[in-house]
Structure 1
Amino acid sequence: MTTSKAILIHIVDDDEAFRDSLVWLLESHDYRVACHDHAEAFLAGFRPDAATSCLILDIRMPGMSGLELYEELQARGNRWPVIFITGHGDVPMAVQAVKRGAYDFLEKPFNQEALLQAIDSALCAAANLQQDEVQANQCESRLQALTTREREVLDRVIEGKMNKVIADDLGISIKTVEAHRGKMMDKMGVRSIADLVQTVVAYRQQKGKPAA
């Protein structure tokens, strides 16, 4: 898990007193904090390749709203976790934001512990997502290294077909199936059919493809 000192928390809120209180809270828990008094100021310095980050956005601000900023970041492919801060009247809007992929929202007034827990949870979820993406990219590279025949064997193994059935499907001998299967397993970096199935199914789910 990334330590809090390596994490940058962006606060985008037009309320200076509120920003100051959050800075005090977060810095006292060893987070690095960057404040922006409006969405446009944040976008002006936005770097998608920056250090691990979490955004705390006021959902309603003058000019570009927090929701509009979130939609812009989504359009740019940004995956940082976002926690919205909202007043009572904007809860329905915040719920819609969560449905679109925002991590959470907190309704003012909220206690400090609730915010800290939301940040910790959001960062854990983001770290897990990043790890899933790394593993999916690794699996994709390995799949691309397979020959056409090895890929045909893999697809049938994933479907649960035995070597004899695969041989009949492809019009080749069982020994040839076994040879392709062995090379395919080596290239995929797995030691068992269970590992192969778990790896490929997880990859297809990550990429939104059918599992079988």
Structure 2
Amino acid sequence: STGELLGAGFPDRPACLILDLRLPGGSGLELQSRLAEMGVAIPIVFLTGHADVPTSVRAMKAGAVDFLPKPFREQELLDAVANALKHDTARRAADLELTQVRALAESLTPRERDVLRGVARALLNKQIAYELGIAEMTVKMHRSSAGRKLQTVSIADMISKIRLLNL
């Protein structure tokens, strides 16, 4: 039942849910909505013998990875599960990267953050210096220090991490 599933918790490894639209104790769409409200990001593959286009569109817009009408071939289900696990693995990797970058960014000074905002806007060092009212050499020092703190290996890596942080 949906209550048992919600009470059971979710694994801390790539996973997916295979749900029927009709479940004991509620619908699959209601469960999908409740999971989203709880902040549980787990990919869902819906199965149903009672499919209609509006319902499948609603499920997909709410984040379902796939929607299989019954009867379906075994390979279709295997492919849908593989795709869902791929989605979850990628999401987990992105979440981990964001957590790591946020931890590194905690040591950035306010001025380093200001300089990084200029870098993200593709400004030259002298343009950043002018905007901040500091010397160009000071901008270079702040940029270098921020790069070390964020463990960047290139300007592209720095910009990628700046965007992750929404600076």
> Normalising by structure 2, what TM-score?
0.90
**What do the CA deviations read for 1:96-140 (whole angstroms, capped 9, x no partner)?**
111011111100000000000000011011100110111112222
The CA distance in 2 between the partners of 1:63 and 1:184, in whole Å, is: 52
Alpha-carbon contact 2:16-2:44 (below 8 Å) kept: yes
Matched, 1:43 2:6: yes
Q: Which residue of the partner structure matches residue 36 of structure 2? A: 74
The CA distance in 1 between the partners of 2:68 and 2:154, in whole Å, is: 45
Alignment equivalent of 1:97, drawn from 59, 74, 96: 59
Alpha-carbon contact 2:105-2:150 (below 8 Å) kept: yes
Distance 1:173 1:89, change over 3 A: closer
Alignment equivalent of 1:187, drawn from 124, 139, 149: 149
Unaligned runs of 5+ in 1: 1-37
Deviation at 1:200, TM superposition (A): 2.4
The CA distance in 2 between the partners of 1:175 and 1:50, in whole Å, is: 46
Higher relative contact order (CA 8 A, sep 6+): 2
The CA distance in 1 between the partners of 2:24 and 2:127, in whole Å, is: 65
Output the aligned Cα RMSD.
Answer: 1.8
Paired residue secondary structure (1:178): helix
Unaligned runs of 5+ in 2: none
The CA distance in 1 between the partners of 2:112 and 2:153, in whole Å, is: 16
The CA distance in 2 between the partners of 1:194 and 1:51, in whole Å, is: 30
Alignment equivalent of 1:106, drawn from 55, 68, 71: 68
Q: Which amino acid aligns with 1:153?
A: V
Runs of 4+ residues deviating >6 angstroms = none
Q: Which residue of the partner structure matches residue 156 of structure 1? A: 118
Alignment equivalent of 1:63, drawn from 7, 22, 25: 25
The CA distance in 1 between the partners of 2:89 and 2:126, in whole Å, is: 42
Q: Which residue of the partner structure matches residue 104 of structure 2? A: 142
**What do the CA deviations read for 1:138-181 (whole angstroms, capped 9, x no partner)?**
22222222101000111101111111111111111122111111
Q: How many equivalent pairs are there?
A: 167
Deviation at 1:51, TM superposition (A): 4.6
| Percent of residue pairs bearing the same amino acid type | 39
Q: Which residue of the partner structure matches residue 81 of structure 2? A: 119
